[in-house]
Amino acid sequence: MTTIATTTAGSRAFAECTRDRHIALDGEEGAVLSRRISVTDELGRCHYRDREVITDKVWAKKVFQIHNADVFAAALALNVGCEVAEDVNADGDLYTYAETRDARLLIDVNGHTLEFPWPEQATYWQRAAFSVPIPVEALRSGLNEVILRSADATEWYVLIEDSLWPNRSARSIDAGRTWDDEHLGPSGSHDGEYMLRLQLEGHPPQGTIVSPSIDLATLLSGARVGAPLALHDLTLDAEAETPEGTAIALEIRYGSTPSYEPFRWTGWLSGFGEEALSEGEPRFAQWRATLRTSSPQSTPRLTAVTLRAEVEAERAADAQAYDVLVDDTPTIARSSYPFAYQSYDEPRVHIARERWQLDEVVAGAADELTGLARLADWTRHQWEDGWNMRSGLRGGELRYCPPWDGLVIRELASRDLSLGMCTHYATVFVQAATALGFIARHNVIHAHCVAEVWVNDWQKWVMFDPGCDTDDDRKGTYHLERHGVPLSTLEAHQAWIDNDLEGLAMVPVLDDGVGPDARFALDTWLRHFERFCITLREDDLTSLSPGEPEHGWGSYHFDGYLWWEDAQTPKLVCFTRTTDREADLCWGVNQVAVHLLATDDPHALGVTLDTMTPNLDWLEIQMDDGAWRETSQEFVWRLRPGENRLAVRSVNRFGRSGPVASLTLVAP
């Protein structure tokens, strides 16, 4: 019997683990519970017209359920409007309001009255929601009552998301004497929750962190080729600090495939052998740690996890006999957050591809990047006056802001019936790319919306801006490159944060007929990337829900986006999903990882392929200089003495091939 072990220790190693939003990395130490608790009953799935009008007579009440009020600090995310703000003038990042008269909103928190004066100016991000500090002594464990009322006759507005539960929002039309939780809004037609959110500075009750899949066969061999084994036991040990009232629970699961598959992996277990595999022999394992606390002021700290396996080793020495000359195979980065990919079976995807004649748009493109640049340019030429700046009809003849449905947007905007600005250009571009078999998504940045596409040729996410230019004579679009390498939105953000323009270029350069257009100078234009989020779905052609009914008319308020945070980009009070883990934004798709296993025959290796290819049709391989042919996930690689080359790739149902992964080794 042989004991093998691997230890995950420190923030660098823990950064490779997936984790929920309640886990944070603590400097160089390891993992702790985050210092943020979000209390909310809605996602912001509402229209800007779905609003309550608040006056000195009409009050709005929101009740928050707080598990434990022993927190460090608290703030109300106040997404409100005010009649003072009707004709807003933008001056750079500052929004100056039409009137400067005194307007005060009174906020009663469990009987403690706070005042919120409407500001004369506000930044772009403040307009998403104002942060109103709440004294922690005003809060209590259990139900907390927050009442909004105007200090005078000024009208204030708060949005409403319709729902039947949990009935924690109510309206009073008689200055608080009686309350009605079923007839919200001026016409009494809404039944739901006011879009008010409470952020507490304190540790949540629990959070979970999960290791990457661990290949026990290569852990045993210590080489690129794994050694066959019989697994007899798995144990976990943790190095941790657990102050009073805190705890850490460790669990394992194991399976016969490189990543989790139902029926080929066990469920999460407290010990080995509690559940047998229904298919295959266990070779891969994962650990999961759940951090818990009974007090928002305390957190456990996990600094190391060691997984030990008792195995019966087979041919470990044989596994080390292969000399790997070239290994161009990926370790697939995994996001902590599920992403909803567009299904090939959705008829509207094929309607878009045919109706828009997308194959003709990209025909003859030298590579994917060139084809996508053409697609961005095609998108910008589908309609004009999308911002309705010349016509003066904001929202077109119908005064309408379409949701993220490209088929609807193109029909309406091209007839000047609706708004068709940056968010709508991004939508049509994303869904056109999706219809061609790419993986694409929206990005919300500073007062703008762009798109990102996974480009197989570069094996990375690349940002495209198909709606940056309001000049209908030019209709400019661009992407960013550094020394010829296309950039993601995260890389554009980092360039702005670091003020690093070395080798950076806008492709193509947008000119005004004389030279480069000063509006797009990178030292100022990159400011749009100072804060951003990604969407966690691309399947809007199947369903517009969940999401905002309209996008871009005002500040984004849907709470289903994932926002980036770093030391220079702190969390916004109004959103609950944030991450500082790069793989959560830049995970890998369409790639193929290759796992090798020694056999009884030194001229034969067992191969197991792993991929995360949405709408996967088949996997294919190329041996040496032979033809590409379809293969199963597991097969035997027959070797000849000397050099042997294996190349693999995936093909999705749209007919698009993923990036090629290859390795060359010398067989004895």
pLDDT per residue as tens digits for the range 44-85: 999 889 999 999 999 999 999 999 999 999 999 999 999 988
Report the phi/psi class of residue 158: left, alpha or beta, with left for phi > 0 and alpha for psi in -120 to 50. Answer: beta
CA neighbor of 564 nearest in space, from 544, 580, 542, 547: 580
Mean pLDDT within 518-527: 95
Res. 32 pLDDT band, cuts 50 70 90: very high
Res. 390 pLDDT band, cuts 50 70 90: low
Res. 88 pLDDT band, cuts 50 70 90: confident
| Separation CA 465–CA 508 (nearest Å) | 11
CA neighbor of 518 nearest in space, from 509, 528, 527: 509
Instruction: Lowest mean pLDDT of 1-15, 206-220, 484-498, 546-560, name the range.
Output: 546-560
Instruction: Lowest mean pLDDT of 23-32, 401-410, 594-603, name the range.
Output: 23-32
Neighbours of 274 (CB within 10 A): 11
Q: Does the pLDDT of residue 145 top 90, yes or no? A: yes
Q: How many CA atoms are closer than 13 Å to the CA of 609, on its beta-carbon side? A: 26
Mean pLDDT within 238-247: 97
| Separation CA 144–CA 244 (nearest Å) | 27
Mean pLDDT within 548-571: 91
Res. 20 pLDDT band, cuts 50 70 90: very high
Look at residue 444 in the predicted model and tell me its pLDDT: 97
Instruction: Answer with the residue of higher pLDDT: 70 or 316.
Output: 70
Q: Does the pLDDT of residue 392 top 70, yes or no? A: no
Res. 161 pLDDT band, cuts 50 70 90: very high
Mean pLDDT within 374-383: 98
Within 292-367, residue ranges assigned H as helices are 316-319, 347-355, 358-362
409: helix, coil or strand?
A: helix
361: helix, coil or strand?
A: helix
Instruction: Lowest mean pLDDT of 27-41, 310-324, 600-614, name the range.
Output: 310-324
Mean pLDDT within 364-380: 98
Mean pLDDT within 410-418: 95
Cβ-contact 472, 384 below 8 angstroms: yes
Look at residue 453 in the predicted model and tell me its pLDDT: 98
Quote the mean pLDDT of the chain.
95
Cβ-contact 82, 586 below 8 angstroms: no
